[in-house]
Copies of this chain bind each other. A is one copy, B any other.
């Protein structure tokens, strides 16, 4: 259905080190690039809104909780960030509508994610821009676990048969050992070769896992920095192209 899925990293739109603080300048920069884009689905991460509460309640993508107050604390923090993103879009007359994954998706006992997309498709067909986000969702046998924005992007892109996927990160793309942006990654072996040797295991693990997920999709994906949202939306492939 020729949809573009664009993810705004949590550390792009929030100040990572201050609890529940939006990076206003960055958000404004990204939102102004989104203005006028057609058939777009947005997803944003948690940044300083979600991760803080998730850590406080000991919830991760695999470690669940049945503590309803903890689940609500995480979910409401993510809704506050989503409100801010939607408001910034409305201020630019982008017809954004919120979509909260806790209301729509679930995980089965094996951890498999299901999230409907027909409501998102109807919004897009009606000219709206759905804005989803990382969230906490019901998980069979585990109570509730964290749904990352990245996993949501993959599920949406597959379900909507997206034409293009963009991930706006704080870095300008996937970097090699010399800190240079890698233009293109086509196979998982390349990721391991390139990213396997780094000392920054956490960051690297995160980026390698991200790239591995994106490689499972039919749609090509680009990873780029905030300054390249414009270029991505007009059809260029800034940063690293993963296909």
Contact = CB atoms under 8 A, between A and B. Distances in A.
A126 B127 CA distance: 37
B106 A98 contact: no
Interface stretch (A54-62, A138-146, A160-168): A138-146
Contacts of A72: 86, 90, 97-98
Contacts of A107: 122
Interface string A96-108: 1111111111110
Given A68-B97, A71-B97, A100-B100, A143 B126 contact: yes
B103 A104 contact: yes
A192 B236 CA distance: 63
Given A99-B103, A118-B106, A90 B71 contact: no
Nearest to A118: B106
Interface in A125-177: 125-128, 137-144
A189 B28 CA distance: 60
Contacts of A138: 97, 119, 122-123, 126, 128
Interface in A54-111: 66, 68-69, 71-72, 75, 86, 90, 95-107
Contacts of A127: 66, 143
Interface string A33-70: 00000000000000000000000000000000010110
Interface of A: 66, 68-69, 71-72, 75, 86, 90, 95-107, 114, 116, 118-119, 122-123, 125-128, 137-144
